């Protein structure tokens, strides 16, 4: 069987061989160190300035000054969000690669599949 025939057969079944996927080159990225104080200051100011109803997420992302796009890196996006006491952020979904860390706060609750999870320091 020729590759073209295999590709055609796969395509007719809504499948695709990974050999046809163009993986971007993995060029090195220049490092950058974000300082905590300006980030925290920005979050606290956002918590006073931006209402939870004004934005789906009151979040600040880390942006590399070495990239042509506003992103943390070519393969990673890092954001910090702040939810004030008594606020409830709108429910949303993530893909399986989303990771959450509680950096500061008291017992924020997260919901997953209608179960409540209490997050606190040390857990």
Give the DSSP letter string of the chain.
--HHHHHHHHHHTT---GGG--PPP----------HHHHHHHHHHHHHHS-TTT-S--EEE---TTSSSSSSSSS---EEE---TT--PPP----TT------S-S--EEEETTEEEE--TT-
In a domain, 8, yes or no: yes
Q: What is the pLDDT of residue 81?
A: 85
pLDDT at 102: 66
- pLDDT tens sequence across 72-98: 988 888 888 888 887 877 777 777 677
Domain carrying residue 55: 3-118
Give the chain's domain count: 1
Could you tell me if residue 123 is inside a domain?
A: no
Mean pLDDT, residues 15-42: 86
Domain presence at residue 32: yes
Confirm whether 59 is domain-assigned: yes
Average pLDDT over all residues of the chain:
81
95 part of a folded domain: yes
Question: 4-7 contacts: CB < 8 A, separation 24 or more?
Answer: none
> Can you give the pLDDT at residue 86?
78
Q: What is the pTM of this model?
A: 0.65
**How many residues does this entry show for the chain?**
123
| pLDDT at 56 exceeding the cut of 70 | yes
């Amino acid at each position: 069987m020729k590759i073209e025939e295999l590709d055609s057969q796969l395509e007719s079944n809504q499948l695709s061989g990974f050999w046809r996927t163009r993986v971007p080159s993995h060029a090195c990225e220049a490092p950058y160190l974000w300082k905590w104080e300006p980030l925290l200051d920005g979050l606290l100011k956002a918590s006073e300035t931006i209402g939870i109803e004004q934005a789906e997420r009151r979040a600040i992302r880390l942006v590399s000054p070495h990239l042509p796009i506003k992103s943390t890196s070519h393969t990673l996006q890092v954001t910090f969000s702040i939810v004030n006491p008594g606020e409830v952020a709108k429910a949303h979904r993530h893909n399986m690669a989303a990771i959450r860390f509680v950096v500061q706060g008291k017992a924020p609750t997260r919901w997953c599949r209608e179960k409540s999870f209490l997050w606190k320091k040390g857990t």
